[in-house]
A = this chain, B = another copy of it.
């Protein structure tokens, strides 16, 4: 009867597909902020963690939209993928992808962009190097977490920190108004940016949980399982 029970479970579409019927939005990768037509500012995010989460959510039965900055990864199978460059493009694509039940903001979005982008390539001249002034980019995580009627039921942020990882993540959770922060240490030497493994801390308003170092795929599957539990309880 054990086999019969297992067969019964396997026929239940909810088992193994805990996110069936749910819409999940994931952001991934870096953004690129132009300086002039050839130069840009970016960051070392590879998109591996965000892409792995999109894949794991699709495998868990969700209808997934992945909004990604420029990465050298293949589009995950079974996922709707929207490719963007700048933070402002990413926000527009995220808003276009709503409504969603769960939103996971794993992209490393540029906090700032260059205040005035040059129409032509900046030249080396007698005046010496230029000095760039910046303006703040829209805060995609906070915008969506405070979206009112269109706020997804679960809003998850990522924090890429090089120091005081958990303290910075707690502050970010409160400031942004999200439900969960996945904090990872991206200091040089950790190999997190660009690497295949990740050590993460799950920070909620009343708890901090540190997961053993594991593959980004492993983090993705465990996170998706956790999100399915949270949304089932909510």
Contacts and interface: CB of A to CB of B under 8 A. Distances in A.
Interface of A: 35-45, 72, 108, 110-112, 120-124, 128-136, 160-163, 168, 186-188, 193
B135 A37 contact: no
7 contacts: A36-B162, A38-B108, A72-B72, A121-B186, A124-B136, A129-B135, A131-B132
A160 B38 contact: yes
Number of identical protomers: 2
Contact of A43 (B40, B108, B123, B160): B40
**Top-9 shortest CB links A-B:** A129-B134, A72-B72, A112-B129, A121-B162, A38-B43, A39-B43, A120-B162, A111-B124, A132-B132
A43 to B, nearest CB: 5
Nearest to A175: B124
Contacts of A188: 37
- Judged by DSSP, the binding face of A is loop
Q: Which has the most chain B C-beta neighbours within 10 Å: A37, A43, A124, A136?
A: A37
A134 B132 CA distance: 8
Contacts of A130: 112, 134
Contact of A136 (B44, B123, B128, B186): B128
B40 A121 contact: no
A186 B133 contact: no
B35 A40 contact: no
Contacts of A36: 162
Contact of A42 (B42, B122, B133, B135): B42
A135 B130 CA distance: 9
Contacts of A112: 129-130
